[in-house]
Amino acid sequence: MAQVQVARSAGKQWFALLALIGAAMAAVLWWWSHRDDAAVSEAVTASAPAAPQVVALAKPVALVQQPDAMPSTEAGMVAQQTAAALVVARAPAMKPITGPVTERPEFVSEMEWQMLKGVSQQHPTPQAELTRLVNKLRFMKQLELWQSMAHSKDMAKRQLLAEQLLDDLPQRVVNADLDKPEAQKLQASLLKDAVSDEQARKKRADVETRRLGASAAS
């Protein structure tokens, strides 16, 4: 599947840095999705339950630990990117943050956090822009994970991801993170994972098309 392009540029430097982060995320998520199923199951079981993480991330205030130091080595950067990616992998139904983001969320690496804060400070409303950028990054990571699981046998996780991405698509269009044609193509692909029954999928497609149309008109 073609990679969905992200709009609303904050400058050429932002695009270049975002591309580097995207490449790192893609590699980490590919590695995670191709691990042995039993090993993945054990890792998730040993971690904190996904449901409390989802609830915490949906709260209007943020969020988790004190920021770590910026990694000084490539290995350190990869380790932080891996840890951030695994948060998304373990909580695929993670919801958008609905209020001010005052601390680094777990699914955002320290490098990403510093970038997002720097870009948001150039905006007339920095706090709102930071929340928007954090939610866009969350969406991108969920999308990368879903794409990386194209051949995965874990259909339950693919369905969770597809449902969350479908739910979030209209807001991505409102925020100009995706244009309507891109969102429509992605919507059609997501529906195949979200709804297995063909007749039910057609009905759901009508609902999602109306939601997307309303967001594009707003």
Cβ atoms < 10 Å from Cβ of 85: 25
- Report whether 142 contacts 161 (CB < 8 A): yes
Nearest by Cα to 213 from 189, 187, 177: 187
Number of domains in the chain: 2
Mean pLDDT of 181-185: 95
The confidence score (pLDDT) of residue 105 equals 96
Q: Which of 29-33, 91-95, 155-159 has the lowest mean pLDDT?
A: 29-33
CA atoms within 13 A on the CB side of 89: 28
Query: In the structure encoding, which two tokens stand for residue 93, read together?
Result: 């139904």
184 and 133 together in one domain: no
46 and 129 together in one domain: yes
172 and 140 together in one domain: no
40 and 79 together in one domain: yes
Mean pLDDT of 44-50: 40
188 and 81 together in one domain: no
Residue 4 lies in a domain: no
Compare 64 and 134 and report the one with higher pLDDT: 134
- In angstroms, rounded to a whole number, what is the distance separating the alpha carbons of residues 21 and 214? 32
Range of the domain at 52: 9-151
Q: Which of 69-78, 182-191, 205-214 has the lowest mean pLDDT?
A: 69-78
Query: In the structure encoding, which two tokens stand for residue 152, read together?
Result: 């995965």
**Domain limit, last residue, from 151, 169, 187:** 151
Nearest by Cα to 177 from 214, 139, 205: 139
With 60 as the cut, is the pLDDT of residue 189 above it? yes
How many residues does this entry show for the chain?
A: 218
Residue 172 lies in a domain: yes
24 and 112 together in one domain: yes
- In angstroms, rounded to a whole number, what is the distance separating the alpha carbons of residues 125 and 132? 11
Q: What is the three-class DSSP state of 76?
A: helix
Residue 3 lies in a domain: no
Residue 2 lies in a domain: no
With 70 as the cut, is the pLDDT of residue 180 above it? yes
147 and 158 together in one domain: no
With 80 as the cut, is the pLDDT of residue 212 above it? yes
**Domain limit, last residue, from 128, 151, 174:** 151
**Domain limit, last residue, from 136, 151, 166:** 151
